Amino acid sequence: MSAAARSGVLASVGAFSAPKRVLMGPGPSDVHPRVLAAMAQNTIGHLDPEFVRLMDEIKLLLRATFRTENDLTFAISAPGSIGMETSVINLVEPGDTIIICVNGVFGGRMVSMAERAGAKVVKVATPWGRAVDLEGVEAALKANPGTRVVAFVQAETSTGALSDAKALSALAHQYGALSLCDAVTSLAGVPLEVDAWGIDAVYSATQKCLSAPPGLSPVSYSSRAVERVKARKTPVVSWFQDLALVMSYWGSGGNSTARRTYHHTAPVNALFGLHESLLILHEEGLEASWARHARVHKQLADGLEALGFRYVVPEGERLPQLNSVWIPEGIDDAAGRGRLLNEFGVEIGGGLGDFAGKVWRIGLMGQSCSEQHVERVLNALAAISGRSRVATATLETV
Protein backbone atom coordinates (compact mmCIF):
# COMPACT_ATOMS: atom_id res chain seq x y z
CA MET A 1 0.00 0.00 0.00
CA SER A 2 1.37 3.38 -0.97
CA ALA A 3 1.92 6.23 1.46
CA ALA A 4 -0.95 8.13 -0.15
CA ALA A 5 -3.27 5.13 0.20
CA ARG A 6 -2.27 4.68 3.83
CA SER A 7 -2.96 8.33 4.47
CA GLY A 8 -6.37 7.99 2.85
CA VAL A 9 -7.24 5.02 5.06
CA LEU A 10 -6.26 6.87 8.22
CA ALA A 11 -8.28 9.90 7.14
CA SER A 12 -11.40 7.75 6.72
CA VAL A 13 -11.07 5.62 9.89
CA GLY A 14 -11.37 6.94 13.42
CA ALA A 15 -11.92 5.62 16.91
CA PHE A 16 -14.95 3.34 17.13
CA SER A 17 -17.82 4.32 19.40
CA ALA A 18 -20.41 1.55 19.91
CA PRO A 19 -24.03 2.68 19.59
CA LYS A 20 -26.39 2.26 22.54
CA ARG A 21 -28.55 -0.84 22.01
CA VAL A 22 -31.01 -2.87 24.02
CA LEU A 23 -29.99 -6.45 23.24
CA MET A 24 -33.06 -8.70 23.10
CA GLY A 25 -32.04 -11.14 20.40
CA PRO A 26 -30.68 -14.69 20.67
CA GLY A 27 -27.40 -13.33 22.10
CA PRO A 28 -25.38 -11.46 23.07
CA SER A 29 -27.38 -10.06 25.96
CA ASP A 30 -26.82 -6.76 27.74
CA VAL A 31 -23.62 -6.75 29.81
CA HIS A 32 -23.67 -5.50 33.39
CA PRO A 33 -21.56 -2.36 34.00
CA ARG A 34 -19.66 -4.29 36.68
CA VAL A 35 -18.57 -6.82 34.05
CA LEU A 36 -17.42 -4.10 31.67
CA ALA A 37 -15.49 -2.44 34.51
CA ALA A 38 -13.86 -5.75 35.45
CA MET A 39 -12.70 -6.25 31.87
CA ALA A 40 -11.15 -2.77 31.84
CA GLN A 41 -8.68 -3.66 34.62
CA ASN A 42 -4.95 -3.89 34.01
CA THR A 43 -3.97 -6.90 31.94
CA ILE A 44 -1.71 -9.35 33.77
CA GLY A 45 0.15 -12.43 32.57
CA HIS A 46 -1.72 -15.65 31.92
CA LEU A 47 0.63 -17.51 34.33
CA ASP A 48 0.72 -14.73 36.93
CA PRO A 49 0.00 -16.21 40.40
CA GLU A 50 -2.93 -13.83 40.81
CA PHE A 51 -4.39 -14.93 37.49
CA VAL A 52 -3.95 -18.58 38.45
CA ARG A 53 -5.89 -17.80 41.64
CA LEU A 54 -8.63 -16.20 39.54
CA MET A 55 -8.78 -19.30 37.34
CA ASP A 56 -9.39 -21.44 40.41
CA GLU A 57 -12.19 -19.13 41.53
CA ILE A 58 -13.77 -19.30 38.07
CA LYS A 59 -13.69 -23.10 38.28
CA LEU A 60 -15.45 -23.01 41.66
CA LEU A 61 -18.06 -20.54 40.43
CA LEU A 62 -18.69 -22.58 37.28
CA ARG A 63 -19.12 -25.76 39.32
CA ALA A 64 -21.78 -23.98 41.37
CA THR A 65 -23.44 -22.75 38.17
CA PHE A 66 -23.46 -26.16 36.46
CA ARG A 67 -24.42 -27.81 39.78
CA THR A 68 -21.51 -30.23 39.63
CA GLU A 69 -18.45 -31.40 41.50
CA ASN A 70 -16.65 -32.25 38.24
CA ASP A 71 -12.97 -31.39 38.54
CA LEU A 72 -12.67 -30.72 34.82
CA THR A 73 -14.84 -27.60 34.78
CA PHE A 74 -13.39 -24.49 33.17
CA ALA A 75 -13.84 -21.96 30.34
CA ILE A 76 -12.47 -22.70 26.88
CA SER A 77 -10.81 -19.67 25.31
CA ALA A 78 -13.27 -19.44 22.41
CA PRO A 79 -17.04 -19.07 21.84
CA GLY A 80 -19.70 -21.70 22.41
CA SER A 81 -19.27 -23.38 19.03
CA ILE A 82 -15.78 -24.41 20.13
CA GLY A 83 -17.26 -25.82 23.32
CA MET A 84 -19.49 -27.93 21.10
CA GLU A 85 -16.68 -29.05 18.80
CA THR A 86 -14.26 -29.72 21.67
CA SER A 87 -16.80 -31.97 23.36
CA VAL A 88 -17.62 -33.88 20.18
CA ILE A 89 -14.07 -34.48 18.93
CA ASN A 90 -12.76 -35.53 22.35
CA LEU A 91 -15.56 -37.99 23.13
CA VAL A 92 -15.77 -39.78 19.76
CA GLU A 93 -13.13 -41.43 17.60
CA PRO A 94 -13.33 -42.48 13.97
CA GLY A 95 -15.89 -45.28 13.64
CA ASP A 96 -17.65 -44.58 16.95
CA THR A 97 -21.43 -44.33 16.87
CA ILE A 98 -22.96 -41.12 18.17
CA ILE A 99 -26.69 -40.44 18.32
CA ILE A 100 -27.45 -36.76 17.79
CA CYS A 101 -30.85 -35.25 18.44
CA VAL A 102 -31.72 -32.69 15.75
CA ASN A 103 -34.61 -30.31 16.36
CA GLY A 104 -33.01 -27.13 15.02
CA VAL A 105 -29.86 -25.55 13.65
CA PHE A 106 -27.52 -26.43 16.50
CA GLY A 107 -28.29 -30.14 16.59
CA GLY A 108 -27.50 -30.06 12.88
CA ARG A 109 -24.22 -28.30 13.60
CA MET A 110 -23.23 -31.12 15.96
CA VAL A 111 -23.94 -33.61 13.18
CA SER A 112 -21.50 -31.81 10.88
CA MET A 113 -18.79 -31.76 13.56
CA ALA A 114 -19.19 -35.46 14.40
CA GLU A 115 -19.09 -36.44 10.72
CA ARG A 116 -15.87 -34.45 10.27
CA ALA A 117 -14.43 -36.38 13.24
CA GLY A 118 -15.11 -39.65 11.41
CA ALA A 119 -17.92 -40.84 13.65
CA LYS A 120 -20.92 -42.86 12.52
CA VAL A 121 -23.75 -40.40 13.08
CA VAL A 122 -27.30 -41.52 13.80
CA LYS A 123 -29.72 -38.59 13.63
CA VAL A 124 -32.94 -38.49 15.63
CA ALA A 125 -34.96 -35.79 13.92
CA THR A 126 -37.77 -33.92 15.68
CA PRO A 127 -39.84 -31.22 13.98
CA TRP A 128 -38.43 -27.74 14.47
CA GLY A 129 -40.13 -25.94 17.33
CA ARG A 130 -40.63 -29.09 19.41
CA ALA A 131 -38.70 -30.72 22.24
CA VAL A 132 -36.56 -33.75 21.37
CA ASP A 133 -38.61 -36.93 20.87
CA LEU A 134 -37.61 -39.28 23.72
CA GLU A 135 -39.22 -42.32 22.11
CA GLY A 136 -37.22 -41.70 18.95
CA VAL A 137 -33.99 -41.54 20.97
CA GLU A 138 -34.72 -44.83 22.72
CA ALA A 139 -35.56 -46.49 19.41
CA ALA A 140 -32.23 -45.30 18.00
CA LEU A 141 -30.37 -46.64 21.03
CA LYS A 142 -32.03 -50.04 20.68
CA ALA A 143 -31.17 -50.12 16.97
CA ASN A 144 -27.55 -49.10 17.53
CA PRO A 145 -26.00 -51.16 20.34
CA GLY A 146 -22.59 -49.91 21.41
CA THR A 147 -23.46 -46.26 20.87
CA ARG A 148 -20.75 -44.19 22.53
CA VAL A 149 -22.50 -40.84 22.98
CA VAL A 150 -26.01 -39.38 22.94
CA ALA A 151 -25.85 -35.66 22.14
CA PHE A 152 -28.67 -33.13 22.43
CA VAL A 153 -29.41 -29.43 22.74
CA GLN A 154 -31.24 -28.61 25.95
CA ALA A 155 -32.25 -25.14 24.73
CA GLU A 156 -32.43 -24.94 20.93
CA THR A 157 -31.61 -21.31 20.21
CA SER A 158 -32.87 -21.45 16.64
CA THR A 159 -36.43 -22.33 17.69
CA GLY A 160 -36.92 -21.61 21.40
CA ALA A 161 -37.67 -25.24 22.29
CA LEU A 162 -36.65 -26.72 25.68
CA SER A 163 -35.86 -30.44 25.80
CA ASP A 164 -35.74 -32.80 28.78
CA ALA A 165 -32.02 -33.03 29.55
CA LYS A 166 -32.61 -35.21 32.61
CA ALA A 167 -34.57 -37.85 30.69
CA LEU A 168 -32.17 -37.79 27.72
CA SER A 169 -29.15 -38.31 29.96
CA ALA A 170 -30.89 -41.17 31.76
CA LEU A 171 -31.64 -42.85 28.42
CA ALA A 172 -28.00 -42.56 27.37
CA HIS A 173 -26.81 -44.21 30.58
CA GLN A 174 -29.47 -46.93 30.36
CA TYR A 175 -27.88 -48.07 27.11
CA GLY A 176 -24.24 -47.59 28.18
CA ALA A 177 -23.58 -44.30 26.38
CA LEU A 178 -22.24 -40.97 27.57
CA SER A 179 -24.55 -37.94 27.49
CA LEU A 180 -23.48 -34.68 25.83
CA CYS A 181 -25.58 -31.59 26.52
CA ASP A 182 -25.58 -28.25 24.70
CA ALA A 183 -26.41 -25.68 27.41
CA VAL A 184 -25.38 -22.58 25.46
CA THR A 185 -28.70 -20.82 25.98
CA SER A 186 -29.97 -22.75 29.02
CA LEU A 187 -27.20 -22.19 31.59
CA ALA A 188 -28.48 -19.87 34.37
CA GLY A 189 -31.81 -19.37 32.57
CA VAL A 190 -33.56 -22.69 33.30
CA PRO A 191 -32.78 -25.55 35.71
CA LEU A 192 -29.68 -27.52 34.76
CA GLU A 193 -28.42 -30.13 37.24
CA VAL A 194 -25.31 -31.70 35.78
CA ASP A 195 -24.54 -34.12 38.63
CA ALA A 196 -28.11 -34.92 39.67
CA TRP A 197 -29.09 -35.66 36.07
CA GLY A 198 -25.91 -37.56 35.25
CA ILE A 199 -24.80 -35.35 32.36
CA ASP A 200 -21.31 -36.44 31.27
CA ALA A 201 -20.30 -33.49 29.11
CA VAL A 202 -21.82 -30.03 28.90
CA TYR A 203 -20.82 -26.79 27.24
CA SER A 204 -22.24 -23.29 27.26
CA ALA A 205 -21.35 -19.71 26.27
CA THR A 206 -20.82 -16.47 28.13
CA GLN A 207 -23.01 -14.11 26.08
CA LYS A 208 -26.41 -15.58 26.88
CA CYS A 209 -27.80 -15.84 30.42
CA LEU A 210 -24.38 -15.20 32.00
CA SER A 211 -24.44 -11.67 30.50
CA ALA A 212 -20.74 -11.46 29.71
CA PRO A 213 -19.40 -10.59 26.25
CA PRO A 214 -19.05 -13.45 23.75
CA GLY A 215 -15.76 -15.27 23.42
CA LEU A 216 -15.61 -17.94 26.14
CA SER A 217 -17.23 -21.36 26.46
CA PRO A 218 -17.75 -22.76 29.99
CA VAL A 219 -17.57 -26.57 29.97
CA SER A 220 -17.72 -29.43 32.44
CA TYR A 221 -16.82 -33.11 32.06
CA SER A 222 -17.61 -36.02 34.37
CA SER A 223 -15.06 -38.59 35.48
CA ARG A 224 -16.62 -40.99 32.94
CA ALA A 225 -15.99 -38.48 30.17
CA VAL A 226 -12.42 -37.87 31.33
CA GLU A 227 -11.75 -41.61 31.32
CA ARG A 228 -13.07 -41.76 27.77
CA VAL A 229 -10.62 -39.03 26.76
CA LYS A 230 -7.71 -40.77 28.48
CA ALA A 231 -8.56 -44.12 26.85
CA ARG A 232 -8.57 -42.79 23.28
CA LYS A 233 -6.73 -44.91 20.74
CA THR A 234 -6.32 -42.02 18.30
CA PRO A 235 -5.17 -38.46 18.93
CA VAL A 236 -7.74 -35.68 19.00
CA VAL A 237 -7.71 -34.04 15.57
CA SER A 238 -7.22 -30.55 17.03
CA TRP A 239 -4.18 -29.73 19.15
CA PHE A 240 -5.79 -26.63 20.68
CA GLN A 241 -8.97 -28.51 21.64
CA ASP A 242 -7.30 -31.63 23.04
CA LEU A 243 -8.64 -31.85 26.59
CA ALA A 244 -5.73 -34.02 27.67
CA LEU A 245 -3.46 -31.03 27.00
CA VAL A 246 -5.64 -28.19 28.27
CA MET A 247 -6.27 -29.99 31.58
CA SER A 248 -2.73 -29.25 32.67
CA TYR A 249 -3.19 -25.52 32.12
CA TRP A 250 -6.40 -25.19 34.14
CA GLY A 251 -5.06 -27.42 36.91
CA SER A 252 -6.95 -29.97 38.97
CA GLY A 253 -8.61 -30.18 42.33
CA GLY A 254 -8.84 -26.41 42.71
CA ASN A 255 -5.24 -26.37 43.92
CA SER A 256 -3.84 -22.92 43.12
CA THR A 257 -0.34 -24.00 44.18
CA ALA A 258 -0.14 -26.74 41.53
CA ARG A 259 2.22 -25.94 38.70
CA ARG A 260 0.39 -24.99 35.52
CA THR A 261 1.74 -26.10 32.15
CA TYR A 262 1.62 -23.48 29.44
CA HIS A 263 -0.95 -24.36 26.81
CA HIS A 264 -2.02 -21.06 25.25
CA THR A 265 -2.24 -17.39 26.14
CA ALA A 266 -5.63 -17.13 27.78
CA PRO A 267 -7.88 -14.09 27.12
CA VAL A 268 -7.08 -12.57 30.50
CA ASN A 269 -9.47 -9.64 30.50
CA ALA A 270 -12.34 -11.70 29.11
CA LEU A 271 -11.89 -14.05 32.07
CA PHE A 272 -11.96 -11.04 34.42
CA GLY A 273 -15.39 -10.34 32.95
CA LEU A 274 -16.62 -13.93 33.30
CA HIS A 275 -15.52 -14.00 36.94
CA GLU A 276 -17.52 -10.85 37.67
CA SER A 277 -20.59 -12.08 35.81
CA LEU A 278 -20.56 -15.31 37.82
CA LEU A 279 -20.28 -13.32 41.05
CA ILE A 280 -23.33 -11.27 40.02
CA LEU A 281 -25.25 -14.45 39.19
CA HIS A 282 -24.56 -16.05 42.55
CA GLU A 283 -25.27 -12.85 44.45
CA GLU A 284 -28.77 -13.09 42.99
CA GLY A 285 -28.87 -16.87 43.49
CA LEU A 286 -29.12 -19.51 40.78
CA GLU A 287 -32.69 -20.52 41.66
CA ALA A 288 -33.67 -16.85 41.79
CA SER A 289 -32.25 -16.39 38.30
CA TRP A 290 -34.29 -19.33 37.01
CA ALA A 291 -37.41 -17.88 38.65
CA ARG A 292 -36.78 -14.40 37.21
CA HIS A 293 -36.48 -15.77 33.69
CA ALA A 294 -39.76 -17.69 34.11
CA ARG A 295 -41.59 -14.68 35.59
CA VAL A 296 -40.44 -12.16 32.99
CA HIS A 297 -41.15 -14.65 30.19
CA LYS A 298 -44.78 -14.84 31.34
CA GLN A 299 -45.02 -11.06 31.13
CA LEU A 300 -43.60 -11.10 27.61
CA ALA A 301 -45.77 -13.99 26.44
CA ASP A 302 -48.95 -12.32 27.71
CA GLY A 303 -47.98 -9.08 25.98
CA LEU A 304 -47.05 -10.74 22.68
CA GLU A 305 -50.27 -12.72 22.55
CA ALA A 306 -52.29 -9.58 23.35
CA LEU A 307 -50.66 -7.99 20.30
CA GLY A 308 -51.66 -10.96 18.15
CA PHE A 309 -48.27 -12.67 17.89
CA ARG A 310 -48.31 -16.47 17.79
CA TYR A 311 -45.62 -18.59 19.42
CA VAL A 312 -43.75 -21.20 17.40
CA VAL A 313 -43.27 -23.57 20.35
CA PRO A 314 -46.15 -25.11 22.37
CA GLU A 315 -46.44 -23.67 25.86
CA GLY A 316 -45.13 -26.69 27.75
CA GLU A 317 -41.94 -26.87 25.65
CA ARG A 318 -40.97 -23.17 25.51
CA LEU A 319 -37.74 -21.63 26.63
CA PRO A 320 -38.40 -18.62 28.86
CA GLN A 321 -35.22 -16.90 27.69
CA LEU A 322 -35.67 -17.36 23.92
CA ASN A 323 -39.11 -16.60 22.53
CA SER A 324 -39.80 -17.48 18.89
CA VAL A 325 -42.92 -15.98 17.29
CA TRP A 326 -44.27 -16.08 13.74
CA ILE A 327 -43.82 -12.79 11.90
CA PRO A 328 -47.30 -11.29 11.31
CA GLU A 329 -48.58 -11.06 7.76
CA GLY A 330 -47.79 -7.78 6.08
CA ILE A 331 -44.53 -7.20 7.98
CA ASP A 332 -41.22 -7.73 6.23
CA ASP A 333 -38.65 -9.53 8.36
CA ALA A 334 -35.58 -7.39 7.70
CA ALA A 335 -37.50 -4.12 7.47
CA GLY A 336 -39.31 -4.77 10.74
CA ARG A 337 -36.15 -5.64 12.64
CA GLY A 338 -34.44 -2.65 11.04
CA ARG A 339 -37.13 -0.31 12.40
CA LEU A 340 -36.82 -1.83 15.86
CA LEU A 341 -33.08 -1.26 15.80
CA ASN A 342 -32.91 2.15 14.16
CA GLU A 343 -35.97 3.80 15.68
CA PHE A 344 -36.10 2.23 19.13
CA GLY A 345 -32.61 0.84 19.70
CA VAL A 346 -33.96 -2.69 20.27
CA GLU A 347 -32.20 -5.68 18.71
CA ILE A 348 -34.13 -8.91 18.18
CA GLY A 349 -33.15 -11.90 16.04
CA GLY A 350 -34.46 -13.27 12.78
CA GLY A 351 -35.01 -16.92 11.99
CA LEU A 352 -32.30 -19.41 11.07
CA GLY A 353 -32.36 -22.30 8.63
CA ASP A 354 -35.91 -23.47 7.94
CA PHE A 355 -37.26 -20.52 9.92
CA ALA A 356 -35.36 -17.78 8.06
CA GLY A 357 -37.72 -14.95 7.15
CA LYS A 358 -40.58 -16.61 9.02
CA VAL A 359 -39.96 -16.02 12.72
CA TRP A 360 -38.55 -13.46 15.10
CA ARG A 361 -36.53 -14.56 18.12
CA ILE A 362 -36.85 -12.37 21.21
CA GLY A 363 -34.31 -12.96 23.97
CA LEU A 364 -34.77 -12.51 27.70
CA MET A 365 -31.30 -13.47 28.84
CA GLY A 366 -29.47 -12.51 31.99
CA GLN A 367 -29.14 -8.75 32.23
CA SER A 368 -31.69 -8.39 29.40
CA CYS A 369 -34.32 -10.30 31.38
CA SER A 370 -36.28 -7.56 33.15
CA GLU A 371 -39.76 -6.08 33.21
CA GLN A 372 -38.36 -2.86 31.72
CA HIS A 373 -36.91 -4.73 28.74
CA VAL A 374 -40.26 -6.43 28.14
CA GLU A 375 -42.17 -3.16 28.15
CA ARG A 376 -39.70 -1.59 25.78
CA VAL A 377 -39.86 -4.36 23.20
CA LEU A 378 -43.65 -4.68 23.42
CA ASN A 379 -44.13 -0.95 22.91
CA ALA A 380 -41.74 -1.01 19.96
CA LEU A 381 -43.44 -4.05 18.40
CA ALA A 382 -46.83 -2.36 18.78
CA ALA A 383 -45.49 0.72 17.02
CA ILE A 384 -44.01 -1.07 14.00
CA SER A 385 -46.97 -3.44 13.59
CA GLY A 386 -49.59 -0.71 13.86
CA ARG A 387 -51.27 -2.40 16.80
CA SER A 388 -52.34 -0.72 19.99
CA ARG A 389 -51.56 -1.66 23.58
CA VAL A 390 -51.79 -0.06 26.97
CA ALA A 391 -48.14 0.80 27.62
CA THR A 392 -46.90 0.80 31.18
CA ALA A 393 -43.53 2.30 30.32
CA THR A 394 -42.44 5.21 28.22
CA LEU A 395 -41.50 4.29 24.66
CA GLU A 396 -38.07 5.73 24.05
CA THR A 397 -36.53 6.27 20.65
CA VAL A 398 -32.85 6.50 19.80
Residue-wise pLDDT tens digits, 30-53: 999 999 999 999 999 998 999 999
Answer yes or no: are the C-beta atoms of 156 and 106 closer than 8 Å.
yes
Supply the pLDDT for residue 15. 87
Q: Are residues 174 and 297 in the same domain?
A: no
Instruction: Indicate the SS3 state at residue 179.
Output: strand
pLDDT at 341 over 50: yes
Q: Are residues 295 and 271 in the same domain?
A: no
Q: How confident is the model at residue 392 (pLDDT cuts 50, 70, 90)?
A: low
Distance of CA 317 to CAs 4, 42, 160, Å?
60, 44, 8
pLDDT at 257 over 60: no
Structural domain includes residue 51: yes
pLDDT at 64 over 50: yes
Distance of CA 112 to CAs 83, 98, 153, 205, 323, Å?
14, 12, 14, 20, 26
pTM over 0.85: yes
pLDDT at 104 over 60: yes
pLDDT at 396 over 60: no
Supply the pLDDT for residue 389. 67
Q: State the DSSP code for 376.
A: H
Q: 282, 311, 346: which is the final residue of a domain? A: 282
Q: Are residues 215 and 313 in the same domain?
A: no
Structural domain includes residue 393: no
Structural domain includes residue 186: yes
Q: Are residues 342 and 238 in the same domain?
A: no
CATH number at residue 238: 3.40.640.10
Structural domain includes residue 273: yes
Structural domain includes residue 11: no
Q: 248, 265, 282: which is the final residue of a domain? A: 282
161, β-bridge pairs: 156, 318
Give the mean model confidence (pLDDT) for residues 314-340. 96
Give the mean model confidence (pLDDT) for residues 286-290. 98
Structural domain includes residue 108: yes
Q: Could you report the per-residue pLDDT of 201-240, keeping only the tens digit for each?
A: 999 999 999 999 999 999 999 999 999 999 999 999 999 9
Please give the tally of structural domains in the chain: 2
- How far is Cα 232 from Cα 342, in angstroms, rounded to an integer? 52
Amino acid at 230: K
Structural domain includes residue 228: yes
Q: 261, 282, 303: which is the final residue of a domain? A: 282
Structural domain includes residue 166: yes
Q: Are residues 205 and 309 in the same domain?
A: no
Q: Give me the domain span that covers residue 211.
A: 33-282
Longest dimension (CA), the chain: 69
Give the mean model confidence (pLDDT) for residues 236-246. 92
Q: How confident is the model at residue 324 (pLDDT cuts 50, 70, 90)?
A: very high
pLDDT at 256 over 70: no
Q: Are residues 231 and 338 in the same domain?
A: no
Q: Are residues 328 and 258 in the same domain?
A: no
